[in-house]
Amino acid sequence: MSKVIVITGGSGGIGAELAHQLAPAGHSFVLGARRVAELQKVAADAERLGAGRAVPLVGDVTVREDVDRLRDVALETFGRIDVWVNNAGRGITRSVLDLTEADFDEMMAVNVKSALYGMQAVVPHFMQRGEGHLINITSFLGRVPLASFRSAYNAAKAALNALTANLRVDLQAKYPNIHVSTVMPGIVLTEFARNAGSEAPGAPRPSSPMRPQSVEEAVATMVELIEHPRAELYTNPASQKIALRYFDDVEAFEKTAGTPSA
């Protein structure tokens, strides 16, 4: 059955690829982002690939009114929302001691508050319907500090992990057909790193278990998640085992973090 899917950060990277991979199944989309030409192209490509309809909507997810407008346009156009994907985000290359207040505030606004606005916009609609699927794209780095030079980004994604888990617990007893999923990509080959600033020493090496994934590989796991919802998804098969090792002995793991064996 085709779904109505809202995707933030839909003009490139994971958001655009998600629309492209889902389009052949006939789903319809409302795609939000700030870049007009890129967003319009993603929407046109999705329709060419088989989407029922793809509506591009320019806006800034750090502005609550713009996020609410995504919901309102989806409901006005399609009458319902089945899946909402909080994908918009941005990184930064700063160690903890080099962070400014502005750096930290920006990371929280773009990566956490924007998703909070999305949750507060769509979940009441899901509750009214008694069903729906919220997907928050966070990061493996919000759980394991393998790239400390992304400090404020990692902190923001850790906060989003916590908000997502708390919402899931709040809903599960009364609304068993509302699914809340945390998706944690590892290193994905998109324009994200360029926007976050230059790469820094200490990044997991390609030869390590945390090898980079193509955006197509990472998104394919998310397509499967939409068909078969679950609480958490690591897009990289190596991630869960690494996370378990980290929490089994945090001190020992951190002593070797960033080395090929980590």
Instruction: Tell me the pLDDT tens digit for each residue of 154-212.
Output: 999 999 999 999 999 999 999 999 999 999 998 877 655 445 444 444 444 433 556 78
Tell me the three state secondary structure of residue 55.
strand
Residue with tokens 């509506």: 55
Q: Where are the domains of the chain?
A: 4-255
* Residue 154: closest CA among 89, 221, 246: 89
pLDDT tens-digit map of 30-71:
999 999 999 999 999 999 999 999 999 999 999 999 999 999
- By annotation, the residues acting in catalysis are 153
- Top CATH class of 4-255 equals alpha beta
Instruction: Count Cβ neighbours within 10 Å for each residue of 173-212 and write b for 16 or more, e otherwise.
Output: eebeebbbbbbbbbbbebebbeebeeeeeebbeeebbbeb
Provide the mean pLDDT of the chain.
91
Reduce the DSSP state of residue 23 to 3 states and report it: helix
Q: Which residues partner with 136 through β-bridges?
A: 86, 182
Question: Mean pLDDT, to the nearest integer, of 144-154?
Answer: 93
What's the rounded Cα separation, in Å, for the pair 258 and 147? Answer: 7
- Residue 251 makes CB contacts below 8 A (sequence gap 6+) with none
DSSP H helical segments within the chain, as ranges?
13-22, 36-48, 64-78, 101-108, 114-129, 151-172, 192-196, 215-227, 239-248, 250-255
What's the rounded Cα separation, in Å, for the pair 101 and 82? 37
Return the pLDDT at 206.
37
Confidence band, pLDDT 50/70/90 cuts, at residue 258: low
Question: What's residue 260's pLDDT?
Answer: 40
What pLDDT was estimated at residue 213? 87
Which is higher by pLDDT, 163 or 1? 163
Give the pairing type, strands 4-8 and 83-86: parallel
- Quote the radius of gyration of the chain (alpha carbons, Å): 18
Instruction: Give the lowest-confidence range in 104-118, 124-138, 186-200.
Output: 186-200
Question: Exposed, middle or buried by CB within 10 Å (0-12, 13-18, 19+), for 73?
Answer: middle
CA–CA distance, 52 with 34 (Å, rounded to integer) = 23
